[in-house]
Every structure is written in C-alpha cells, then in structure tokens.
Structure 1
C-alpha cells in the first residue's frame, strides 16, 4: 500500500520546513548582521555555516521527510532515525554555531550550572546511555509512542542528553574545560560500549518487544503522532504489515543492528579526527623540544668557546 494515503502533511511536514527556515534565517542574522552587538565575536567561518546548514538539512530529512513516517511503521527506520538524530545532528550543531555565540548561551546564569554538571564526560556518557536504554524499555517505549506530550518531552530530553554527550568531543568554546585528545579516544570507546547492552537486548530478543509495531490497534493509535487523526479516521488499516514485508522480529533485529553499525561509523570518523589531532600535537611538541634542545646546545657551545 502506498504511503501517499497518509497525505502531504504526514509525508513532508510543512510546519517543520517553516521552523527550519526560521532557525536558518535567525542563525545568519545573529552570526552576520547582529554580530557586532556581541562583546566578543568573529566573522562567520564558511565551515561553520556549512556545518549548520548540514544540521538543518539532516534534521529535516530525519524528522520531516517520509523517513519520519516510516519510523512509525517500521522499527528499522526508527533506529536509523535515532542514530542520526542523536549521534550526528548534535555534532553538526555544536560545530556549526560559532564559539562566541555558544559562550553567551552557556554562561547564562541558569544554563551555566546545567552545562557544568551534565557536560562532565562521566556524567554525560552515563546519562545518555541511561536515557537511551530507558527509552527502549518496551513498556516505556509504547507509553511514549501513544502520548504526544510524553513523546515530545522524552524526545527532547534524550536529544539534550545526546548533545551533552557529544559536547566534550567537539567543544571549542574559549574558557570552557576541554578534554585532551588522548582522553577523547577512551571517551568514544566508552560511549560505544555503554549503549551496546540496549542494542543487544533488541537484537537478540527472540520475541517482538514493542506493541506499537506489532498490535494493529496500538500501532494505529501511535500513528497519530505523525498523521492527522482526521486522515486516519478515513482509512481502513489492519497494521504495519500493509507497508512492510519483514516479520516483526526481523524488523526489530535489523533496527538494532543498523543502530550499532551507524553508531560505529560515526564514532569511527570522530575517532579518526581526534587521533589525527593528537598525532599532530605529539609531533609538534617533539619538534619544539628538539629545536629547544638544539638552541640550548648551540648556546652552550658558543659560551664555552668564549
């Protein structure tokens, strides 16, 4: 059955397009037009603008395109959506917004204390792993999927936890604590390990875990998160099997596997960049030490001649 039966709004989320356009215009107003109103600022870098635009495009593809609709039909799409939303978009946002804008935000009275606590590497890693694991406990997952308010609140908290988890890896804000590159390597590995139990439970569970992808009535109720109820009321649907040829357990297992694969790929890219920076720093230090030792030796030799 074609997805077009759910209508244009469910497929392409026009309201989200409006929100993303507003955020994009606001971004360039703040970073270009209103830049001089900040006490400390720098011209917007081309790389920063590219990262931000990639974040907005990725956000729309993940939450505004038919991928979002499919994430309510197939668990596989849900996990792919989670992987990119939680592991890629926060990095693009952190790198896309100039450090001097972040400095104003995170040094605000209330925000300062929140950042100080939740961006500590140990706290950030465990909170994200905990929130991700809680979200995918069957009882909580089905409850969240059936309530628009719960879904919005929990999704925001989970995204915030992902943001804090990624912050120590890419933070470049002056005056903020920065993790050494060697520690970042261990931090990336720890994050990969911490969400493995949740993914393993999903992958190796012999039975389908989520009623929102297996029970027709529950699934139809959950579809109200992305499809107008007026549209659903005019449709006669028995369940997600109308749009999915996979078995529920196969769909669940594939979703868990893809989540881990995408996570490993993203972390591998970040790990490569961190390792490269660490290698450059080490060799730069070695060259500086060698040059200093050579200068000291030459100076000592000249003094002995005199």
Structure 2
C-alpha cells in the first residue's frame, strides 16, 4: 500500500449527509419541543453546542481521513479513532440530549425494557469493556478488518455499548439515574481498570500482533510497525486517563455544588424530596 486513497476514500459524503440529517432533526425537535408542555424542559445553548460537537466528532472519527488511515496504514491513528468514537462522542451526545426526547423514544415498552436493562451500571460497564477488549484481540481484529460488513456490524454494537456505558454517568433521566455521585466516581474508576489490560497488551508487545499492519509501507511517516503499534497503545491509555480524569472532576464538582446548594437552601431540597417522577411528570408522592 503505497498510494493514499482518493477523495471519496478519505472523506465520506454519505456519512456527512447522515450527520447533517441527524443534526437537522435534533434542531427541529428542540425548536418544536421547547415550551410546548411541562414535560419539555428548555434546551440550553450549552446542550445544543454539546450535541452538535458530538456529531462533528463522530464524523471526524468515522468519516474523515482518520478512518481511512487508521484502517489501512497506522494503528496509532486507529486508536485515536477509537478514543473519539467510544470515549468522547457519547459524552457530548448525552449531555446535549434533553430528557423529554429520550422519554418519547422509551414510550415503546420493548425499547424501554431493553434500554433499562443495557444501561444497568454493572451490565453497561462490563459489556463495553468486554466488547472493546475482544475487538482488539489480534485474531478478531484482523478478521473483522478483512470483512467490511462484519466490521460495520461490530463497530455499531460497540458504539451502542459505549453509549450505554456512559449513560449511568451522564444520565438525563432522573427516573433512570441509578448512581449517586460517589458511585459514579467508583464507576469511572472501574472503567479505567477494565480498559487497562487491552492497552497494556498493545504497549508492551515486543512484536507486531496485528497482521494487517505488519507489512504496511507508510509513505508519509518514519515509524516502524512496532513503534506505531506501541504508540497506539500509549495514545489510547493517555487519552483515556485524560477523559476519565476530566469526568471524575466534572462529577466531583457537580456533587460539591449540589452539597453547597443544599446547605444554603435546605428548604428547596425538602420540597424536591417530596416529588417523584412518573411518566415524565413530577407529581407529589
């Protein structure tokens, strides 16, 4: 492989169109939903920016040259793509998604039951990390990379599991928020521990473990395949630590602000404790 692909190899117009359509549908839902009923809490500018940022990052990870180079040339770029798609995009999307949109989707009993099961903290935690680790087993990854349909299917399942993994941390629905702030800190720590073996296997391997990258000629870089492989593991581990560290800080300071507010305005929180969610409405218990 000495030739870089053409424009349509490096950029995906079809995926760009899909991202634009999703962004447009979101903007219409937000515009039409704001203020219509008590269930539809207003969507802030920060939420909108977060959602659109998630879409942009998704396209950068899946539809830009990052996807092509990571698939054909550089394992390090592949690991950067993994970080964008599975450890970054879901955070921005969940923060930008108002609760009432999710409630509309979950009105279907089958979808609600499946979603509720997959977002249980322990199931979400182990499912994502198990799928991620299995994907990076040399035999599995080499096989998937040779079959575009299987690769697309596995990536779709892995992306869905990434969204379910992040849901307990950035849950927009009070009725499905199963973790306290303290438990969320432990949950993120557990994620870091479970992701470490896959990174360590890649970083400390003394041979190229993926056949698809073993004999690649890189026309624009001076990395050996082994150096590129180890760099990929380092990139994944460092970016994972940064993202998880930022998430821990976010949860901690959110918890701190909540505790301070309870101390300063205890009466308002007593009123909230007498309210329970029911079908998207807050009714007195």
Partner of 1:296 in structure 2?
A: none
Residue pair 1:99, 1:173 contacting (<8 A) in 2 also: yes
For the pair 1:159 / 2:159, whether they are aligned, the reply is: yes
For the pair 1:270 / 2:247, whether they are aligned, the reply is: yes
Q: CA deviation at 1:106?
A: 3.0
SS, match of residue 175 in structure 2:
coil
Task: Give unmatched runs, 5+ long, in structure 2.
Answer: 268-285
Larger Rg: 1
Partner of 1:32 in structure 2?
A: 31
For the pair 1:50 / 2:49, whether they are aligned, the reply is: yes
Partner of 1:240 in structure 2?
A: 217
Partner of 1:22 in structure 2?
A: 21
The whole-number CA distance in structure 2 between the counterparts of 1:281 and 1:34 is: 28
Judge which range, 133-142 or 119-128, deviates more: 119-128
- After superposition, residues 21-170 of structure 1 pair within 5 angstroms as 21-33=20-32, 40-72=39-71, 73-170=73-170
TM-score by length of 2: 0.87
For the pair 1:252 / 2:240, whether they are aligned, the reply is: no
TM-score by length of 1: 0.81
SS, match of residue 218 in structure 2:
helix
Q: CA deviation at 1:61?
A: 1.4
Deviation digits for residues 256-298 of structure 1 (CA, Å, limit 9, x no counterpart): 01101111111111110111122223334445679xxxxxxxx
Task: Give unmatched runs, 5+ long, in structure 1.
Answer: 216-238, 291-306
Change (3 A) 1:56 1:197: same
Residue pair 1:74, 1:240 contacting (<8 A) in 2 also: no
| Number of residue-to-residue matches in the alignment | 266
Residue pair 1:172, 1:178 contacting (<8 A) in 2 also: no
The whole-number CA distance in structure 2 between the counterparts of 1:25 and 1:261 is: 34
SS, match of residue 207 in structure 2:
coil
Deviation digits for residues 100-158 of structure 1 (CA, Å, limit 9, x no counterpart): 00112234222211222111111111111100000000000011101011101100111
